[in-house]
Structure 1
Amino acid sequence: MLRCLILLIFVCGSVYATVLEPVTLQLKWVHQFQFAGYYVAKQKGFYREAGLDVNIMPAQMHQPDEQFKVLTGQAQFGVTHSGLLEQRMSGKPLVALAAVFQSSPYCWMVHADSNIYSPKDFQGKRISHLGRSEGAELVLILERAGIDVSQLPIYSGMSPLQDFKMGKFDALQVYISNEPFKMAQQGIATRQICPKHYGINVYADILFTSEDVYTYRPELVAKFRSASLRGWRYALANLDEALQITKLYAKQKSYEELANEADKLLPFIKAPGIPVGNMSLARWQWIAQLYHLDLISFHEHKSAFLYSDSSKTEINWSWMLILAIVLSILCVPMYISLVLQRKSYSLQD
């Protein structure tokens, strides 16, 4: 009888331990070191410890749309760019949870023998096509140097890397950890002109969610955010292990490519004295001013746009907690029944 009792307790405890809430994280690009912290959080069990079963979804390379996936409920969380603020102010109910990159890794790539050394040298040069939503900081560094971007000839071909290599245009918008490495592998020497080097440190790779999830599932948001940042802290402190874990996801990339990514991206993630994922209201206001956004509108949206622990003080009973209570109610009568049955057998003896 004692064995039955122990077995019952074990079964009930196992049920509690294995009930995980399914959650989807939508990335802004394909699997690579750029998202290492999330892979680490999953593989090291940080999400599981938070009661979450996280599915990390890569973007479609030719049609990334992480904000749409989150807004439509196809994903609870996503990773996006600093244009998130403009989207919020235009009416999309999106909430910024953490800024993993303290500076943008988007840069202009030019040939090493080019006469382009700084933004002011872009006058009359042919550049790759880019919009103002993602990579807007690349336009900003040119405008701040007095360049009328609307007057620059634009390349809009279908093979940008190959055409850049052949010299068909002068400057290509790149992610500092990707295209320059590909060019170097082909023996093409390049250099990069990055917003970070000219004082434009806009946030990048921002973890975000929808206002509905933030409002109605604050405990889920807090758990996912905490476990994700824990993953990033572990990844930064254990780079070799983080690279090995990332390789499980980024199967299309070599270990050498991933190591190069880590080396190039660390300066954009780490900032002296700033915790991983940190965001400040003052910095977001500065970003709004850089993007020429209406500051009155910014102040109207800021409280709903930025994550805050203090704004979620009420007690929230998750479905997992409710399930645990239900299981307890079911297990207790069974326990009492077993105890009474055992006493009955003892009296008979």
Structure 2
Amino acid sequence: MNKITAFASYYVRLLLLCTTPWVWADAPTEVTLQLKWQHQFQFAGYYVAKELGYYRDAGLEVNIMPAPPTDTDTMTKVLSGGAHFGITHSGIIKQRLEGKPVVALAALLQSSPYCWLVRKDSAIFNPEDFQGQRISLLTKGEDAELMSLLDHRQVNVEVVDHVGKSNLDAWLAQEIDAMQVYVTNEPYQLSQLGIDYRLVCPKRYGLNVYGDVLFTSQHLIAHSPEVVERFYQASMRGWRYALLNLDHALAITQKHYAPNKSLEQLAFEADQLKPLIMQSGNSIGAMSDARWRVITELYHLEPKKLAMHFDGFIYRPAPPHSPMNLSWMMVLALVLMMVAVPAYIHLFYCARHSKKA
């Protein structure tokens, strides 16, 4: 009976180990998330996932890398292997249709945060009013819906590039008439300066595209699908918490990532972004084939390329609580249980039979 007891004890301990997530891992899998800008509330869900241990619970050690203002190209970093995940704009669909192996995991913003900024006393109210005006673009590759807004109205503008001066300074000096802005940034700066302004946004005119798209490479999905799934689930968990617990998310963002920003400024960012993230009928990060196909039309992309490259562009996460979401250790635990329990019962009855004999 001592051997039987030892056998049973061994398998009980083994099963307990298997059902404790990640206890067998020598070290968490280290991955890098490349942001498209510097630290701010725009990325709060990822900060929360890291600081509250959601990534750690998923067996991941995530390095969150900010982007310098002079190098916001996350696409190259991910495709070159410099980062595993990145944040980009809806222009990612153009990269995909050009044959680049990128996959959209989630669209955190259901509507684009980019608008045209014009002075309050200007004569610019509608897209047609941009005719002949001087404009400046903020981020290369992320201006498609803004330029489409003008192109669809057949408006001609002068695109002005400034050397040694920020776009906002040029706008304040009236060297340009309109500039591309991110609704959480320049409007806050202007409100602090007491300067009136007006925003002309594409969404108002039917050009409603995704923003802040979380993406990865097809290579990572093919070779490490569990890493991608775990990162996706932990990230969405972080965003859900952040939006339901704004005060805590703001405190985490300021303390660990953006100490140069006041809570007031971060709260302004949150107020502007929350309605773009949480829209009726959509779960956080939701995407649809139909919406992406409409976006390709807005960007004047070729239907032939869409047919060739669109399949596989949208990531399909495993449904919550589905078998695909179980770790390999949990699966191993079930297998061991199926083997161990019958074996234990067999040996137990053999031992009883031998004792009676």
Q: Structure 1 residue 299 and structure 2 residue 307: aligned?
A: yes
Q: 2:295 aligns with which of 287, 290, 310?
A: 287
Per the TM alignment, residue 187 of structure 1 is displaced from its structure 2 partner at its CA by: 2.0
Does the CA contact (< 8 Å) of 1:126 and 1:155 recur in 2? Answer: no
Does the CA contact (< 8 Å) of 1:93 and 1:211 recur in 2? Answer: yes
Q: Structure 1 residue 242 and structure 2 residue 249: aligned?
A: yes
Residues 1-349 of structure 1 correspond to what in structure 2 (within 5 A)? 16=24, 19-129=27-137, 133-149=141-157, 152=158, 154-159=160-165, 160-247=167-254, 248-309=256-317
Give, in whole Å, the separation in 1 of the partners of 2:139 and 2:54.
37
Of the structure 1 ranges 41-50 and 123-132, higher mean CA displacement relative to structure 2 is found in 123-132
* Alignment correspondent of 2:348: none
Give, in whole Å, the separation in 1 of the partners of 2:265 and 2:162.
27
Does the CA contact (< 8 Å) of 1:79 and 1:206 recur in 2? Answer: yes
TM-score, normalising length: structure 1: 0.83
Give, in whole Å, the separation in 1 of the partners of 2:271 and 2:33.
25
Per the TM alignment, residue 163 of structure 1 is displaced from its structure 2 partner at its CA by: 1.8
Structure 1 residues without counterparts, runs of 5 or longer: 329-349
Structure 2 counterpart of 1:116, which letter? I
Give, in whole Å, the separation in 2 of the partners of 1:186 and 1:113.
16
TM-aligned CA distance change 1:267 to 1:145, over 3 Å: farther
Does the CA contact (< 8 Å) of 1:20 and 1:52 recur in 2? Answer: yes
Q: 3-state DSSP class of the match of 2:310?
A: helix
Structure 2 counterpart of 1:25, which letter? L
Structure 1 counterpart of 2:241, which letter? Y
Structure 2 counterpart of 1:43, which letter? E
Q: 3-state DSSP class of the match of 1:174?
A: strand
Q: 3-state DSSP class of the match of 1:95?
A: strand
Does the CA contact (< 8 Å) of 2:229 and 2:318 recur in 1? Answer: no
Does the CA contact (< 8 Å) of 1:132 and 1:139 recur in 2? Answer: no
Per the TM alignment, residue 209 of structure 1 is displaced from its structure 2 partner at its CA by: 0.4
Does the CA contact (< 8 Å) of 1:122 and 1:142 recur in 2? Answer: yes
Q: 3-state DSSP class of the match of 1:304?
A: coil
TM-aligned CA distance change 1:54 to 1:208, over 3 Å: same
Structure 1 counterpart of 2:151, which letter? E
Per the TM alignment, residue 46 of structure 1 is displaced from its structure 2 partner at its CA by: 1.1
Listed one character per residue, the Cα deviations across residues 30-71 of structure 1 (whole Å, up to 9, x for unaligned) are 000110110011111111111111111111221122111111
TM-aligned CA distance change 1:59 to 1:316, over 3 Å: same
Per the TM alignment, residue 133 of structure 1 is displaced from its structure 2 partner at its CA by: 2.0
Does the CA contact (< 8 Å) of 2:103 and 2:314 recur in 1? Answer: yes
Give, in whole Å, the separation in 2 of the partners of 1:47 and 1:167.
47
Q: 3-state DSSP class of the match of 2:24?
A: helix
Structure 2 counterpart of 1:236, which letter? L
Cα RMSD over matched residues?
Answer: 3.0
Per the TM alignment, residue 145 of structure 1 is displaced from its structure 2 partner at its CA by: 2.5
Q: 3-state DSSP class of the match of 1:303?
A: coil
Aligned sequence identity (%): 50
Of the structure 1 ranges 131-140 and 287-296, higher mean CA displacement relative to structure 2 is found in 131-140
Give, in whole Å, the separation in 2 of the partners of 1:201 and 1:279.
13
Q: 3-state DSSP class of the match of 1:263?
A: helix
Per the TM alignment, residue 299 of structure 1 is displaced from its structure 2 partner at its CA by: 2.2
Does the CA contact (< 8 Å) of 2:170 and 2:176 recur in 1? Answer: yes
Give, in whole Å, the separation in 2 of the partners of 1:66 and 1:43.
23
Per the TM alignment, residue 155 of structure 1 is displaced from its structure 2 partner at its CA by: 4.5
Give, in whole Å, the separation in 2 of the partners of 1:179 and 1:307.
33
Structure 1 counterpart of 2:162, which letter? S
Per the TM alignment, residue 15 of structure 1 is displaced from its structure 2 partner at its CA by: 5.5
Of the structure 1 ranges 116-125 and 301-310, higher mean CA displacement relative to structure 2 is found in 301-310
Count of residue pairs brought into register by the alignment = 316
Per the TM alignment, residue 143 of structure 1 is displaced from its structure 2 partner at its CA by: 1.6
Give, in whole Å, the separation in 1 of the partners of 2:159 and 2:287.
36
Does the CA contact (< 8 Å) of 1:46 and 1:231 recur in 2? Answer: yes
TM-aligned CA distance change 1:153 to 1:73, over 3 Å: closer
Give, in whole Å, the separation in 1 of the partners of 2:81 and 2:323.
24
